[in-house]
Amino acid sequence: MKVEVWSDVVCPWCFVGKRRLESAIAAFGEPVEVEFRSFELDPSAPRLQEGSVSEQLRVKYGWSEEQLAAMQERIKGIGAAEGLDLRVEDTKRGNSFDAHRLLWLAKERGLQPELKERLMRAYFTETEAIGEPEVLQRLAVEVGLDPDEVAEVLASDRFADDVRADELLAARIGIGGVPFFVVGGRYAISGAQPAELMLQALETASREEAAA
């Protein structure tokens, strides 16, 4: 069974959805291959966006300080229920394109799940600036990628076409937001849905696959 996941490393709901998928897979009890595909929430973002993330969001969406605080507390609460420490008010927003390129490298080396987890934890819990090359270099090496190869990727445009191809595919099949899951090539799940719903999709796809 394969699950394709379109998500961004700077998306809190994607981190929540990742945890819920992991819970569903654990309950499913059969081998599942998870492939993370690229999606940028803000392709035009600079490597490191100046100013606080709270102020940026308040201006972007026209929220009051009270509305923003309520939204942030809600996300943190939902994350905590999944065992996540989402310090959303302290994150350092930036461009995630290079992070996605490194996830392609990690996929080739069999370390994509490890790097995805490391990047998201670094961004949301450790408030690292994952748009900065030196931060990406350190995090990628931590999960076991070769430091020279990581440096070569960051200094070039390697895997850029792969990232863009994922994003074009997302547009072609109508993905307008993330996380977005495709289970067994049969069922689509939009958003960080409950683990029970994801488990149901896994079980249904498995039965249909076995009957085919």
Tokens 């067994």 found at? 184
Instruction: Write out the residue range of the structural domain in which residue 149 sits.
Output: 2-211
205 falls in which pLDDT band (50, 70, 90)?
very high
Tell me the C-alpha distance between 88 and 10, whole Å.
Answer: 10
168 falls in which pLDDT band (50, 70, 90)?
very high
| Residue 93 CB-density burial (10 A; 0-12 exposed, 13-18 middle, 19+ buried) | buried
For the chain, the domain total comes to 1
CATH number at 21 reads 3.40.30.10
pTM of model > 0.85 = yes
In this predicted model, what pLDDT tens digit does every residue of 53-107 receive, in sequence order? 777 777 777 878 888 889 899 999 999 999 999 999 999 989 999 999 999 999 9
**Contacts of residue 48, Cβ cutoff 8 Å, sequence gap at least 6:** 92, 93, 94, 129, 131, 132
